Structure 1
């Protein structure tokens, strides 16, 4: 069985293993799946001068013709060298094609298969994990340590350094998708071009959506019982032209997320562990408020709050003129209920 542990993934992909020409990359982080696939495909092409050496296949196209994958992998490269095949799985079943490939693995080819998340025991994952000719590698969302390594690597490559507070703040905003994280870091480095150090001011100016940060401040304070800071953040949002129904919608989503977290706590998981497991990771500045909110509510009271917030959201949409007042009243009631629960 060749199931690679997540912490060993980069080492396993650092060289081409001729005994295992098939590599299955799967997992919830689509960006990391794509990045690892592209890196491995380029490594497999090293030394080849064949401009047509890489073949891109679509899973839906080959599902009706399972033998095509074997044919493409077995074709001799026009100018010599290794044959490289990239297969992206779609909605249709490619299991027969992969079974045929593993039954007769190519001698001079590398086949990289990309797909979404696969649970343990899923047919394609089980097939590759059980074959001596394949590697099966799960790609999970980056943890804080992985994000920090990515930040430092990209900053060093750009000839910059990152201040400790800026690194911590930036890491808290990233991690859900590897390619998205790279894009945000690259945007930050471009913004700070010409300077030698990245500061927290740079991070706050360019990374993430400022409106999203404002909505987080309103929701976090309301659910944690902070009526005064919530009211200040809400007034600022209204002053910047944000619609009250948009604010209530964001708080409603935060309530739903808190309900899911509270279910885990009531099932026996420690609150700190529940918060640490959230992806994307909770920013360090938000953690105290999220912890307080998690301890201030139970699932029954959260369900009641969701119904009340739903009524307020409907009222704000039907009465545009009264929308700001309706939303503010609903948010203040949430804060009062949170304080009572604590």
Structure 2
């Protein structure tokens, strides 16, 4: 059957009557994290059988065989299948129709389309679940981060949860690893919860600090000189160096250049943005940037950033004041 919510709870407590969990949709990292919940629910000593779509295409009966097989030493077993498409249809048909199974299977199918015969089969089956995985956005993203933190004994307020999700670019598998490190750092556990601060997050997640000048970078890319001036003053008070801003702006413009090249090859801006799997807050600014920054302008801006960084490192210059002035000049030129 097809469900829209509650898949995590079902994977945490797999029912004996459920033979298959089909996790489809573009958020492959999120699907992998959900599949890991089934592994944890099966227990530490459980055996995991790994299969893939190509194997099942050649041996469609293998999935049902593994689902009905007993472990040599009597441990619990579960099956994980990756790279799944409609080539696995026959295998799933045999699994769902088998006289007995016993070992639950989870399938990760990021490329499966809504018209897929496999998806329709699972959606109509009473002994299987189909769940669409999408990269979380907005309040859903921060809620997922907060819920994941609670599973590790960590309380995240909205600001910390959003910073964590942004630093991980919405990738729940990466976020899970960062939460594991944060739990060790705080000595947190579900029975001994701790509250995490932004400073705690910075201590264990290096990419959090990299995201700090993001508002300044967005202002420059958008050509908003007053906003950039205010952000540069705030960053100076927070101790963020101008070189850090310049380098991160360089990475931002390099990424824009890559996306712009795809647009110039004939793809629409909407298609390019969706294929890039950007964090939800970055989609609209990126769309606007791709409308206004063409390849020559990006090339010129990257060359200018290189000169600014060299000047910041050189002695006998105005240093960060001159760097800030150059960035403001770039913003004014972008606006013109």
Would you call these one fold, judging by a TM-score over 0.5? Answer: yes
For 2:92, the equivalent position in structure 1 comes to 98
For 2:316, the equivalent position in structure 1 comes to none
Give 5+ residue unaligned stretches, structure 1: 265-273, 284-289
Following TM superposition, by how much is the alpha carbon of 1:182 offset from its aligned partner in structure 2, in angstroms?
Answer: 1.8
For 1:109, the equivalent position in structure 2 comes to 103
Following TM superposition, by how much is the alpha carbon of 1:222 offset from its aligned partner in structure 2, in angstroms?
Answer: 0.6
CA-to-aligned-CA distance 1:197-222 (integer Å, 9 cap, x gap): 43233234443425632563442121
* Residues 162, 198 of structure 1: 8 Å contact kept: yes
Asked if 1:60 corresponds to 2:57, the answer is no
Task: Give runs of aligned pairs for residues 182-221 of structure 1, distance below 5 A.
Answer: 182-193=176-187, 197-209=195-207, 212-213=210-211, 216-221=214-219
Give the Cα–Cα distance (whole angstroms) in 1 for the partners of residues 35 and 17 of structure 2. Answer: 18
Pair 323,249 (structure 1): closer, same or farther in 2 beyond 3 Å: farther
Q: 2:29 aligns with which of 28, 31, 36?
A: 31
Q: 2:68 aligns with which of 74, 81, 84?
A: 74
* Residues 77, 83 of structure 1: 8 Å contact kept: yes
Following TM superposition, by how much is the alpha carbon of 1:308 offset from its aligned partner in structure 2, in angstroms?
Answer: 1.2
Following TM superposition, by how much is the alpha carbon of 1:76 offset from its aligned partner in structure 2, in angstroms?
Answer: 4.5
* Residues 53, 88 of structure 2: 8 Å contact kept: yes
For 1:228, the equivalent position in structure 2 comes to 229
Pair 70,174 (structure 1): closer, same or farther in 2 beyond 3 Å: same
Following TM superposition, by how much is the alpha carbon of 1:339 offset from its aligned partner in structure 2, in angstroms?
Answer: 4.8
Q: 1:140 aligns with which of 130, 134, 137?
A: 134
For 1:129, the equivalent position in structure 2 comes to 123
Following TM superposition, by how much is the alpha carbon of 1:95 offset from its aligned partner in structure 2, in angstroms?
Answer: 3.0
With structure 2 as the length reference, what TM-score do the two structures score?
A: 0.67
Give the Cα–Cα distance (whole angstroms) in 2 for the partners of residues 80 and 228 of structure 1. Answer: 66
Give the Cα–Cα distance (whole angstroms) in 2 for the partners of residues 139 and 105 of structure 1. Answer: 30
For 1:271, the equivalent position in structure 2 comes to none
CA-to-aligned-CA distance 1:81-127 (integer Å, 9 cap, x gap): 86533322368933332233334363433222223242211343233
Following TM superposition, by how much is the alpha carbon of 1:138 offset from its aligned partner in structure 2, in angstroms?
Answer: 1.7
* Residues 165, 175 of structure 2: 8 Å contact kept: no
Following TM superposition, by how much is the alpha carbon of 1:136 offset from its aligned partner in structure 2, in angstroms?
Answer: 0.9
With structure 1 as the length reference, what TM-score do the two structures score?
A: 0.66
For 1:151, the equivalent position in structure 2 comes to 146
For the aligned residue pairs, the C-alpha RMSD in angstroms reads 4.8
Give the Cα–Cα distance (whole angstroms) in 1 for the partners of residues 134 and 231 of structure 2. Answer: 34
Pair 42,338 (structure 1): closer, same or farther in 2 beyond 3 Å: same
Give the Cα–Cα distance (whole angstroms) in 2 for the partners of residues 141 and 294 of structure 1. Answer: 17
Give the Cα–Cα distance (whole angstroms) in 1 for the partners of residues 213 and 32 of structure 2. Answer: 31
For 1:282, the equivalent position in structure 2 comes to 281
Pair 256,329 (structure 1): closer, same or farther in 2 beyond 3 Å: farther
